[in-house]
Structure 1
């Protein structure tokens, strides 16, 4: 996909990125976007960017007070956004959120699955909280998405799902060919993805995860993103030609709390690219793609 310069009428940024930008504004205040895990970091920056561009944005956060403070800080800048508490690791919280959304909005256009956790320091690797990481980063995003799918508008502009992922979640990080083969199946199913996740959690329980060829860096986080990327592909295939675009985006080494403030670029810079991907013109909009970094390129594999 060719890189294009941004239309200054719709995107103004100091970022040097010049990628994948709509030349015609197709969205409006009636365009509804949900961003999860958005009280800080990339999620917060993405809410801010979408609100600046004139969409109606719903900021969700697990912690009510932090979410409300985030909303208040945006309101002070003249950017009113909606807020509802959402813990994607809790099915009852997802159910309450979806019920609230249905009561307040006619349809959904954009979902950004940004909420995610890691319990590793930047140079450490443990799997002590593997179940929580998998439940939040993979199963949480999956359950929320499945719960919201019936509410997507399916308009000619196409509904959009963007899963915030990581290059750690690519198949090249898996060294065990038998495990790798599960996700390489051309007829990959959700059941196979869950089998892959189940094998990892079992190896954690058995204490064999280090010797079985799982990713070596932030292992539980990497496996959760491998599963999320695989789910992106399965979902994109399911809805291909039916008005929903599903892609993954790795923002790269970004300065957030997850990286203890380290990184090569800011959350605002990453969010600018995320917004550009989300707001591609319908005729330019792909599906089943994986973008990386501030000048995104498409990865052909998971």
Structure 2
């Protein structure tokens, strides 16, 4: 996801001066009972967006909603486990009944079972199912519901620099995934299937897969590739698709370690999701740095 466009200024006091949204603007944030997801829901609600907080655990999701209500913020809640196709179907059916259309989707839900200095692939299937297949299935189920208006609907996939294509050491796979002109959904799915096959065969260490948090990295490479493909397929159709790496953020996944807080990361994420229509790109990969500057890779 390359770009020669100027990067947005995230330090400007008039960050939200070009307000295009209203209370009729509807956003969905997955995996939002804590961390960056919860912080993004809070930011959207503070800015007057109608936002749906989703979480796979109903009790934790409702507690998150209560915490926001205590701050005077109103949000909607519905249980959603993106790793479960049936849960996705139930959620989308509920959404159809409750709302007219969707404007913003933030695919934030993700898992990793490794400590920061570990690299096990014991839970590779669950990681791939949650971090790649889940967001893909949810996105495809919601595509017909996006409000394709002059303000442009938006998908923001929360990803990681570990999912940058350069992390692939297998030159053949890297070449296929990096070929923007020829990239297909089938090729992305084949890459993921090959990785899971290598894991089952015990050969994954010698096949050129990323060396750090391998299963998580592969899941994010697949998500980034799918985002690029989806952006291309919807070019000029009123739907923007971008990726955002929040950087080394203090969340449960990092065991509380990091250079900045979830609120800091979410502030940039919300900005990217709410860029003015005339400044909104598609097919880009943004990354937040330790000084909270944001750039495109």
Q: TM-score normalized by structure 2?
A: 0.95
Give the C-alpha shift of residue 2 in structure 1: 3.9
Residues 139-193 of structure 1: CA deviation (Å, up to 9, x unaligned):
0000000000000000100000000000000111111111212202221010000
Distance 1:102 1:46, change over 3 A: same
Q: TM-score normalized by structure 1?
A: 0.93
In structure 2, what is the Cα distance between the partners aligned to 1:2 and 1:112? 21
RMSD of aligned alpha carbons: 1.1
- Cross-structure match for 2:189: 194
In structure 2, what is the Cα distance between the partners aligned to 1:109 and 1:193? 26
Does the Cα contact within 8 Å between 1:7 and 1:23 map onto a contact in 2? no
Does the Cα contact within 8 Å between 1:247 and 1:290 map onto a contact in 2? yes
Residues 16-58 of structure 1: CA deviation (Å, up to 9, x unaligned):
xxxxx45311100000000000000000000000000000000
Residue 30 in 1 paired to residue 24 in 2? yes
- Cross-structure match for 2:44: 50
Following TM superposition, the consecutive aligned residue runs of length 4 or more in structure 1 with deviations greater than 6 angstroms are: none
In structure 2, what is the Cα distance between the partners aligned to 1:139 and 1:109? 22
- Cross-structure match for 2:261: 266
In structure 2, what is the Cα distance between the partners aligned to 1:68 and 1:5? 32
2:102 paired residue among 94, 97, 108: 108
Does the Cα contact within 8 Å between 1:290 and 1:298 map onto a contact in 2? yes
- Cross-structure match for 2:3: none
In structure 2, what is the Cα distance between the partners aligned to 1:164 and 1:200? 22
Gaps in structure 1 of 5+ consecutive residues: 10-20
In structure 2, what is the Cα distance between the partners aligned to 1:259 and 1:41? 11
State the SS of the aligned residue for 1:210: helix
- Cross-structure match for 2:283: 288
State the SS of the aligned residue for 1:274: helix
- Cross-structure match for 2:244: 249
Aligned residue-pair number: 288
State the SS of the aligned residue for 1:45: helix
State the SS of the aligned residue for 1:59: strand
Residues 126-148 of structure 1: CA deviation (Å, up to 9, x unaligned):
00000000000000000000000
- Cross-structure match for 2:132: 138
State the SS of the aligned residue for 1:84: strand
1:4 paired residue among 3, 9, 21: 9
2:295 paired residue among 285, 294, 297: 297
Q: Is 34-43 or 22-31 further displaced after alignment?
A: 22-31
- Cross-structure match for 1:231: 226
In structure 2, what is the Cα distance between the partners aligned to 1:209 and 1:295? 35
2:120 paired residue among 126, 129, 137: 126
In structure 1, what is the Cα distance between the partners aligned to 2:83 and 2:183? 24
Does the Cα contact within 8 Å between 1:29 and 1:56 map onto a contact in 2? yes
